[in-house]
Structure 1
Amino acid sequence: MTETDAIVALIALFEREGYARIEPPVLQPADVFIDLSGEDIRRRMFVTQDAAGAELCLRPEYTIPVCLHHLHRHGAQPSGYSYGGPVFRMRPGESGEFLQAGLESIGRKDVSAVDAEILALALDGLKQFGGPAPVVKLGDMGLLHALIDALGIAPAAKRRVIRAIVSGQGLVSLSEPDGPGAEEHAGLLAAIEGQAPQAAKAFVEDILSIAGIARVGGRSAGEIAERFLARASNRTGLPDEARQVLERYLTIAGDPDQAAHAVRTLARDSGLDLDGALGLFEARTGFMAARGLDVSAFSFAATFARNLDYYTGFIFEVQDPRRGDGKPVVGGGRYDHLLEHLGADAPIPAVGCSFWLDRLVGRP
């Protein structure tokens, strides 16, 4: 099966399930990816300009373009989309153009049910490629956010905790000193400490504009603001009790039922209310089982977090056990706030996933 054949087969499956195919433009506004994508995508984008000087990029992924398409045509109305085509990212030793296919469900309010549906369709799609049973890894950014909020951690420290976990460094990195340059930037760090990201970004942009600077070292004002926010949050300590609870949470692993039990025990022992996030987690597991998925074979890890800024809830990766590099062949999750950042009047629930066709068809 070629990658083109794989796209045809996957799109046929998704369209039968009500996910209409769309193909967003290859050229996309660069600013939305710079502001909303993770560092892993931002630093690998192909960026250009149009005749008027507006910054554009070759489509580095499909989720944001699909969301922009949805907002322009459907607003908050529920819709399902499928897609397949080239995306563009700089990849050392590999082609910067490669094919992806996937699906996105936008606007449905039956959150746990549609989470389970997306995972089930991802696994159905993988069956078309044959091979052994895939390895399914689950995570939940919603649980992590709920725990941090229940602990009453300040916004700047919360951003730093999440960034440390997503980067794979863990809480040990929160003990590192401010590092070189902290003293000379003390005034700016104090000025933005505790500010919301958008306010800090606007503040840094104003300073750079006054100085006549558009970019520094290839980084935009938004990226520079994030770095200063990280420095500022270094000045905000994490209370010992909160650190102990978070460290215990990050040890939780097992199948979804085992994980839910461990989180409930942690919440009870710590006197925290996590019922809302846990209710969604357990309902999702129930819908997975109702679809015939063997949830006991799935692996949840509290440390599992995807390196994209817009994921806010359920996340997953699927691996082919025949691959030796541990890279996922499918990945996705829930991003309920992304459309609001793109211009929606209020949060719109959304979840989706993408297939890495070069890893499926061209296995090593």
Structure 2
Amino acid sequence: MPSSSRVFFQSSRVLVSTFQNIKGTFDILPDAYTDDGGTRIASSAEWHHVESVIRDVMARFNLEEIRTPIFEPTALIARGVGQLTDIVSKEMFAFERGDTQYVLRPEVTAPVMRAYLQHHLEQRGGVQKLFYIGPCFRAEQPQKGRYRQFHQFGSELLGTDDPRADAETIALMMAVYRALGIQNMELRLNTLGSAGTRDSYRTALRDYLAPYADELSDTSRRRLERNPLRILDTKRAHEQKILQEAPRILDFVSDDARAHYATVKTYLDDLDVSYTEDPFLVRGLDYYTHTTFELTSDALGAQSALAGGGRYDLLAEEVGSPRPVPAIGFAAGMERLFLALDAAGIDLPGAAAPDVFIAALGDAAERWVFSTVQDLRAAGLHVALDLKGRSLKAQMKEANRQNAPYTLIIGGNELADEAAQVKEMASGEQVEVAFDKLTDYLLARTGNAA
């Protein structure tokens, strides 16, 4: 029987069949909960708050949102990300329909570039400053903060090779985390130079590591021939020791690329953005050139990365453009962001309480309440009501559970007098308000009045 379902039996007769979420995915519910792996899954209200902060920061930096499909042609991702990357070689969710091959997007940069080229966004004029928030998919082993369906947010600045774009992208990335209250972060910075630099360095690194092949892990030995730059990401202590004397990519960078990198650092210094230069920071995707960066937090343990990105001036040509499109961006995982918020002890706001709860007694009152609720909502109030026909005591208990500051009580007497009993829940004070004054009274009391 598939692990994604459970079937319960009684007297050899199936009573209930319930399905479970697929391994490596999770549900976002109205309440926070802890999953089977011990990770806290934030509530939908907490997700909404974090996404709102991200959107606010993006707007302050004058970025516009872009939304691309969650599945794309396989060739786009393979050519954009790189055939030899782990993402393409073993982490994609791929499928076919007819003669066409598709993949659930494992990242968003290549799809954004596809959209930029397809819709001729350069004709809008100026630099295209775009951001996104949405799900991505990778078929990797689930672990804390890493899922098969995960959520990314990020930015893409397309159409400029100015070093200020590099510095602004880094400043934007850090501004998001600071706006959410996260402070203990480290920015690691490097340059990859041009595409020719990367090729020359790849050869030099392979030549250096070849004599150590027998000392490398199986994963690193596979990478040695296919993509040796990925070995620089190793967390194994003995491999890190081997790499201490490895060639540095900065030794292969041209004078122009050095000047670009120096200017980026100057702008970061002007912004008082501290950073650590990391000669082994190369990122895992083939489209990166020049500036590359990563934001980390020790609070997350071994898997410390919060966000990362870099310049990818060659991506447009890789996905079919007849001319290069200079571009830079960053991507960040929402799940890792929530882990960082938890580690920092930052409390996020929960769901907003209703402005008022209306309790009804009797059929006539329920009918009046049901109609009036819609009018109050149309006026701008957040209104809750009972939909189960429960007792007044049960309805008042529900009003307390939902933290409603005011409760209206409507019964036969109130209908006859055309006046509601309005109870302020914190003080217990109760006043009578005429039906025709009710909307204005509640708007004024709840701060929703214009």
Q: Same fold (TM over 0.5)?
A: yes
Q: What are the equivalent positions in structure 2 for 1:4-83 lying under 5 Å apart?
A: 4-38=48-82, 39-42=85-88, 43-50=90-97, 52-74=98-120, 76-77=122-123, 78-83=127-132
- Does 2:267 correspond to 1:287? yes
Following superposition, the deviation at residue 248 of structure 1 comes to 7.3
Following superposition, the deviation at residue 358 of structure 1 comes to 0.3
Q: Given that residues 120 and 293 in structure 1 are in contact (C-alpha distance below 8 angstroms), is that contact kept between their aligned partners in structure 2? A: no
- Does 2:185 correspond to 1:134? yes
Distance in 1 separating the partners of 2:118 and 2:192: 28
Question: In the alignment, which residue of structure 2 is the partner of 1:275?
Answer: 255
Q: Given that residues 26 and 59 in structure 1 are in contact (C-alpha distance below 8 angstroms), is that contact kept between their aligned partners in structure 2? A: yes
Question: In the alignment, which residue of structure 2 is the partner of 1:351?
Answer: 328
Match for residue 312 of structure 2 among 318, 322, 335: 335
Match for residue 321 of structure 1 among 298, 318, 331: 298
Q: TM-score, normalised by structure 2?
A: 0.53
Q: Given that residues 294 and 305 in structure 2 are in contact (C-alpha distance below 8 angstroms), is that contact kept between their aligned partners in structure 1? A: yes
Following superposition, the deviation at residue 2 of structure 1 comes to 2.6
Question: In the alignment, which residue of structure 2 is the partner of 1:311?
Answer: 288
Range that drifts further, 329-338 or 278-287: 278-287
Deviation readout 1:131-154 (Å, 9 max, x if unpaired): 3331111111117954x7xxxxxx
Distance in 1 separating the partners of 2:195 and 2:188: 16
CA 138–144 in structure 1, closer or farther in 2 if over 3 Å, else same? farther
Following superposition, the deviation at residue 11 of structure 1 comes to 2.0
Q: Given that residues 129 and 360 in structure 1 are in contact (C-alpha distance below 8 angstroms), is that contact kept between their aligned partners in structure 2? A: no
Question: In the alignment, which residue of structure 2 is the partner of 1:222?
Answer: none
Question: In the alignment, which residue of structure 2 is the partner of 1:103?
Answer: 155
Q: TM-score, normalised by structure 1?
A: 0.65
Following superposition, the deviation at residue 276 of structure 1 comes to 0.9
Distance in 2 separating the partners of 1:273 and 1:361: 37
Following superposition, the deviation at residue 88 of structure 1 comes to 0.7
Deviation readout 1:96-124 (Å, 9 max, x if unpaired): 111111110000232x1000000000010
Following superposition, the deviation at residue 86 of structure 1 comes to 0.6
Distance in 1 separating the partners of 2:297 and 2:324: 34
Question: In the alignment, which residue of structure 2 is the partner of 1:113?
Answer: 164
Distance in 2 separating the partners of 1:124 and 1:83: 16
Q: Given that residues 315 and 334 in structure 1 are in contact (C-alpha distance below 8 angstroms), is that contact kept between their aligned partners in structure 2? A: yes
How many residues align? The count is 266
Question: In the alignment, which residue of structure 1 is the partner of 2:240?
Answer: none
Q: Given that residues 192 and 288 in structure 2 are in contact (C-alpha distance below 8 angstroms), is that contact kept between their aligned partners in structure 1? A: yes
Distance in 1 separating the partners of 2:297 and 2:333: 11
RMSD: 3.1
What secondary structure is seen at the aligned counterpart in 1 of 2:141? coil
Could you list the runs of 5+ residues in structure 1 that have no partner in the other structure? 149-154, 165-170, 179-225, 232-245, 253-262, 267-271
Match for residue 174 of structure 1 among 206, 210, 221: 210
Q: Given that residues 137 and 150 in structure 2 are in contact (C-alpha distance below 8 angstroms), is that contact kept between their aligned partners in structure 1? A: yes
Question: In the alignment, which residue of structure 2 is the partner of 1:125?
Answer: 176
Q: Which structure is higher in RCO with an 8 Å CA cutoff and minimum separation 6? A: 1
Distance in 2 separating the partners of 1:229 and 1:318: 27
Could you list the runs of 5+ residues in structure 2 that have no partner in the other structure? 1-44, 215-222, 229-243, 344-450
- Does 2:137 correspond to 1:88? yes
Question: In the alignment, which residue of structure 1 is the partner of 2:18?
Answer: none
What secondary structure is seen at the aligned counterpart in 2 of 1:11? helix
Following superposition, the deviation at residue 82 of structure 1 comes to 0.5
Following superposition, the deviation at residue 362 of structure 1 comes to 3.0
Distance in 1 separating the partners of 2:49 and 2:189: 29
What secondary structure is seen at the aligned counterpart in 2 of 1:313? strand
Q: Given that residues 45 and 57 in structure 1 are in contact (C-alpha distance below 8 angstroms), is that contact kept between their aligned partners in structure 2? A: yes
Following superposition, the deviation at residue 229 of structure 1 comes to 7.7
CA 84–279 in structure 1, closer or farther in 2 if over 3 Å, else same? same
Question: In the alignment, which residue of structure 2 is the partner of 1:238?
Answer: none
Following superposition, the deviation at residue 227 of structure 1 comes to 9.9
Question: In the alignment, which residue of structure 2 is the partner of 1:301?
Answer: 278
Amino acid at match of 1:293: D
CA 22–356 in structure 1, closer or farther in 2 if over 3 Å, else same? same
Amino acid at match of 1:7: E
What secondary structure is seen at the aligned counterpart in 2 of 1:142? coil
Higher strand share: 2
Deviation readout 1:225-244 (Å, 9 max, x if unpaired): x998889xxxxxxxxxxxxx
CA 172–114 in structure 1, closer or farther in 2 if over 3 Å, else same? same
Distance in 1 separating the partners of 2:194 and 2:57: 31
